[in-house]
Amino acid sequence: MSPLARSANMRVLLTGATGLLGGALLELLLAEGHEVRCLVRAESPNASRLDAGLVEILRGDASDEEDLYRALKGADALVHVAGIEHSPSVVRAARRAGVERVLVVGSTSVHSAYAFRSSPKLEMEELVRGSALAWTIVRPSMIYGSELDKNVHRLLRFLDRSPVFPIFGPGTNLWQPVYYEDCARGVLEAAKRPVSVHRSYDLPGAEPLTYLDLVKTAAWALGREPRIVRLPIEPVRRALVAAERLRLPLPVDSGQVTRLREDKAYPYEDARRDLDYAPRPFREGVALEVSRLRRLGILRS
């Protein structure tokens, strides 16, 4: 029987299970009764997030073909969340292990007009597409929703503490962040459904919103009304470039500031049609994140 035909109960090798998206995906896989083996780096500081009673934990690195090959023995499918840059070892190990069904998590940054951002990921996607595997590529937009995210979590903490919020440029560029559990649901459906073989899907949030609206919605969820201060982008970008030449440690890099000029809005008709993908609006997701961060004592108010 093909792995896809018995996808009701897959034996899955999952990478990235100690992270934001992989952790949510692991919960969904287990809730559906799939057997999950997690490949976790020996030096992972987060291995304690996994319950060895519920999942098999194998130590290894996703950039290492041998580690992956060893971990793939007996698996029906590989769900690779730990970074599309490991695609060379992922493709080779899956072929050697005879595991055809491979889902790789990429990023909507392949759509960026800035080659420094899109090219490396496009190159990896080409490698996956050129393989003889039953591949699927999914591309989350910016993922948020818990203390593990590296964006909205920080934004909320800043807004929680500061009555003033600085914005680079007019703040009119578009963003479409996706709640981590919605994204994980999309990844799971893509891994399970035969229709997704040899297809790529963008998995963004429900709708694009301007950066200004994103900040105001996050502040609303906190019950705050910060004073917005606009800073010009170009001098800031040039200052960052100069600081990078001096190798100074910086909270943001010039590439991130350059990309602030770019709209990050993504239609997702394909995912809606094939995967029943229905992410929640940012307003709902950020309210959930605020509740969670308050429960954890991460937010003061």
Nearer to ligand NAP, 7 or 18 (CB): 18
Name the minimum Å distance from CB 17 to ligand NAP.
6
Numbers of helices and strands, H then E, in the chain: 11, 13
H/E stretch holding 134: strand 134-140
H/E stretch holding 121: helix 115-129
44 binds ligand NAP (CB under 6 A): yes
16 binds ligand NAP (CB under 6 A): yes
8 Å CB contact between 243 and 169: no
2 binds ligand NAP (CB under 6 A): no
Q: Give me the 79-98 binding string for ligand NAP, x by CB under 6 A, dash otherwise.
A: --xxxx--------------
Query: Residue 254, by phi and psi: left (phi above 0), alpha (psi -120 to 50) or beta?
Result: alpha
SS3 208: coil
Name the minimum Å distance from CB 5 to ligand NAP.
28
Count the residues in the chain.
Answer: 301
Tell me the torsion sign for CA atoms 74, 80, 82, 88. positive
Residue nearest to ligand NAP (CB): 19
61 binds ligand NAP (CB under 6 A): yes
Residue 149, number of CB atoms within 10 A of its CB: 20
Q: Contact with ligand NAP (CB under 6 A): which of 7, 15, 146, 217?
A: 15
Tell me which stretch binds ligand NAP (CB under 6 A): 9-17, 71-79, 90-98, 253-261: 9-17
8 Å CB contact between 201 and 137: yes
Q: Contact with ligand NAP (CB under 6 A): which of 12, 13, 14, 18?
A: 18
68 binds ligand NAP (CB under 6 A): no
8 Å CB contact between 41 and 83: no
| Closest of 70, 66, 134 to residue 102, by C-alpha | 134
Q: At what angle do helices 87-97 and 115-129 cross, to 10 degrees?
A: 10
10 binds ligand NAP (CB under 6 A): no
Q: Contact with ligand NAP (CB under 6 A): which of 21, 71, 206, 257?
A: 21
200 binds ligand NAP (CB under 6 A): no
Name the minimum Å distance from CB 2 to ligand NAP.
26
Residue ranges binding ligand NAP (CB under 6 A):
15-22, 39, 41, 44, 46, 61-63, 81-84, 105, 107, 140, 142-143, 148
